Amino acid sequence: MMDTFRKTGPPSALRVEAAGLRWLAQAQDGGGARVVEVVAEGEGWLETELVQEGRADPTAAEDLGRALARTHAAGAASFGCAPDGWHGNGWMGEAPLPLHEPDEDSPGTWGAFYAADRILPYLPDARDAGAVDEEGATVIERCARRVADGAFDAPQPALVPGPVARLHGDLWSGNVLWSARGGAVLIDPAAHGGHAESDLAQLGVFGTPHRDRIVTAYDEVSPLSDGWQERVALHRLHILIVHAALFGGGYGAQTVAAARRYA
């Protein structure tokens, strides 16, 4: 019998999390990354399998890189689209996450989506928290304009069949569990359609073990676009500005420093 874990919280946050887990799990049959299994859900609670944690090792990290490439390759209808079965916005921690209805006819562009939905919505709260001052806000806004104009748009990795990848969306180290039975298991997604480089960049924000091996293995099966290394800080900008909005402190300085590179 499967050991399970039950969490409680805002009903909408748990429902979109469950939808995201199921959407990401669709890629597992094609070799995609393993995600924690949804066992049951109800109003204000979500029950998933319990992952007995072990230690990360290089082989598991390489396996995760190859599997994550196949998850991204499952694709999505449009930038910022919600996972199947969900209508409305999502959550990234306690921060609202703009999501849209899937639109295969008009997938949009990464730059326009990223500026409008992943950078600028969090700037007012980051300023109110005292994490970003007027000068810093100007830098972030200038960066966002360049992003929206497409200055940093780039092709998806080679395995992704269309313009939009299927993302975990909040892939920092705490959302990668290393199972005692072997391999990585992903939890707590903020799943949406986006650019694959965003997931890979987020892995480095708080020091995921063996990240270099994850990325190298990923690149071997799904080569990344030229110049991806120069875009890493830009793809981290979303998670940084969310942290600046929620927690203030030094996250604001990190956000401004990242934005300045592209402003």
Task: Report pLDDT for 2.
Answer: 78
Residues across the chain: 263
Question: Residue 90: helix, strand or coil by DSSP?
Answer: strand
Residue 87: per-residue pLDDT: 96
pLDDT of 77 reads 98
133 confidence band (pLDDT: 50, 70, 90): very high
Alpha-carbon span 54 to 164, nearest angstrom = 33
Residues with Cβ within 8 Å of 245's Cβ and at least 6 positions away in sequence, in order, are: 95, 122, 123, 125, 126, 129, 131
Pinpoint the alpha helices (H) of 26-107: 58-73
Digit-coded pLDDT (tens) for 209-234:
999 999 999 999 999 999 999 999 99
Strand-pairing partners, residue 167, are: 192
- Radius of gyration over alpha carbons of the chain, in Å? 18
Give mean pLDDT, residues 240-261. 97
For the chain, give the percent of residues with pLDDT over 90.
97
pLDDT range class, residue 197, cuts 50, 70, 90 = very high
Q: Are the C-beta atoms of 199 and 167 separated by less than 8 Å? A: yes
Domains of the chain and CATH, by start: 54-260 (3.90.1200.10)
Give the integer Cα–Cα distance in Å for 18 and 57: 28
Residues of the chain above pLDDT 70, percent: 100
Estimate the crossing angle of helix 251-260 against helix 134-148, to 10 degrees: 50
pLDDT at 205 over 80: yes
2: Cβ–Cβ under 8 A, 6 or more apart, which residues? 37, 39, 49, 50
Which amino acid is located at 234 in the chain?
L
- Residue 150, SS3 per DSSP: coil
First vs last C-alpha separation in the chain: 54
Residue 1 has pLDDT above 80, yes or no: no
Query: pLDDT tens digit string along 169-187?
Result: 999 999 999 999 889 999 9
Answer whether residue 8 shows pLDDT above 80. yes
Say if CB 44 and CB 14 are below 8 A apart.
Answer: yes
Chain centroid offset of residue 10 CA: 20
203 backbone dihedrals φ, ψ, rounded to 5°: -60, -25
Enumerate the β-bridge partners of residue 7.
46
**Lookup: tokens for 5:** 């874990």
Burial grade of 43 (CB within 10 A; 0-12, 13-18, 19 or more): exposed
Cut 0.75: pTM above it: yes
pLDDT(22) > 80 = yes
Q: Would you say residue 90 has pLDDT above 90?
A: yes
Collapsed DSSP state (helix, strand, coil) of residue 247: helix
Of 224, 245, 116, 235, whose CA–CA distance to 168 is shortest?
235
- Mean pLDDT in residue range 68-82: 98
> What 8-state DSSP symbol labels residue 55?
-
Of residues 201, 228, 161, 195, the one with CA closest to residue 81: 195
**The pLDDT value given to residue 32:** 98
- Sign of the Cα pseudo-torsion (51, 56, 57, 60, in order): positive
